[in-house]
Amino acid sequence: MNKKLLLIFLLSLFLMIPAYAQEKDTTNTDSTKTDAEEGWESVDNNSGAGEVNKWDDIGSHIFDFKIKGAPTISFSYGTYQMTLKSISQSFNKPGMLELKLGYTTEKSYYGSDDVIKYKFEYFHISNFTTDLAGNKNSSDLNTNSWRFGFGWASGYGYDLGNGFSIIPYHAISIDWTQMDMQTTPAAADDIHTTDLFNKDFRFGNSFQGGVQFKFVHNLAIDASYERLVVYPRHLFWEWGMGMVIEGAGQGLVDLFVDKVLDSSPEAAPIVNFLLKNALSFGIYELRQDKMNWPFETVAPLAFDQFKVGITIIL
């Protein structure tokens, strides 16, 4: 992919969104609006849309973070494609098992009985190893890795009634990943590079785009794509500036989606899904060559994955 064209596309997106947002006046510009003032009401995962969520008033504060929502357990399986551009050998594709524990909230929108707002905040831990993949190539490198971290998923979906819903979402996470090399690279330079990640936990980030299909109030099937980048070392200021750029872009997308909700609520879930994931994909493509894009830094260890899972909302 042409990185210059991708950068031009991202900058154009940033410029177009605020211009669109200024075309129409809002009736309330108070940034401290409650969910009720914005047109959202809680959905009880055990009772259906339109009722007050019994979890909505249950919460505790840990430092400055408020834990709120229905307790949720998610299990996933997938296959990764590992990439480290600075080595000559390839990695065998590892299989992955993942557990997520967190809290889910859903709110219905007053402007449309069919549109719901979704949020899932979670802790996750996963193991991805070539022992689970079953398609080893003897000339490629075998690995066994552990990863843990914290993630935030959000989106808008469609309430189809009787507990059925479809929710396209976007998620981000911060992670720590340890890779255990089970095969020694042939080249000395490759050994030096993989040793930067081998047997030590390294900091990283990921984004995930997916669709959740809920068949009953407490059970859902999930299909998603994820891109994870792992840094050989954490350059705090370069990383922080990169996150500010990504966060600013996502904030502009949120402003745009708010306008879509005002004019065409039924279009908001798809528009939100496409724009937020397209923006993240573009930025993570740029990070494939420069881990702290736009700064001149080395290529990270990258993981691309398609996965499926089952989610239980208690």
Residue 101 maps to a domain: yes
pLDDT attached to residue 80: 85
Residue located via tokens 């590992």: 82
Any domain includes 200: yes
Question: pLDDT tens, 257-276?
Answer: 999 999 999 999 999 999 99
Round the average pLDDT of the chain to a whole number and report it.
82
Q: What integer is the mean pLDDT of 188-203?
A: 90
Q: DSSP E strands: which ranges in 135-264?
A: 143-161, 164-181, 201-216, 219-230
Is residue 29 one of the residues assigned to a domain?
Answer: no
Residue 284 structural domain: 3-20+35-313
- pLDDT in the model for residue 36: 54
Q: Establish if 26 belongs to a structural domain.
A: no
Residue 27 forms part of a structural domain: no
Which whole number is the average pLDDT over 219-248? Answer: 93
> Residue 184 has what pLDDT?
87
**pLDDT of 257:** 95
- Identify which has the larger pLDDT, 136 or 265: 265
Does residue 25 lie within any of the structural domains?
Answer: no
- Say if 222 falls within a structural domain: yes
* Residue 104 belongs to a domain: yes
List the CATH number of the domain containing 143. Answer: 2.40.160.20
Alpha-carbon distance of 83 to 306, in angstroms, equals 15
pLDDT of residue 98: 97
List pLDDT tens digits, range 236-248: 899 999 999 999 9
Least confident segment among 57-66, 100-109, 120-129: 57-66
Q: If you ran DSSP here, which 8-state letter would residue 198 be given?
A: B
Query: 312: which strand partners?
Result: 73, 219
pLDDT tens digits for 299-308? 899 999 999 9
What is the token pair recorded at 113? 């009985």
CA nearest 158: which of 278, 289, 266? 266
Q: Number of structural domains, the chain?
A: 1
Tokens of 72: 């949720």
Average of per-residue pLDDT across 153-174: 94
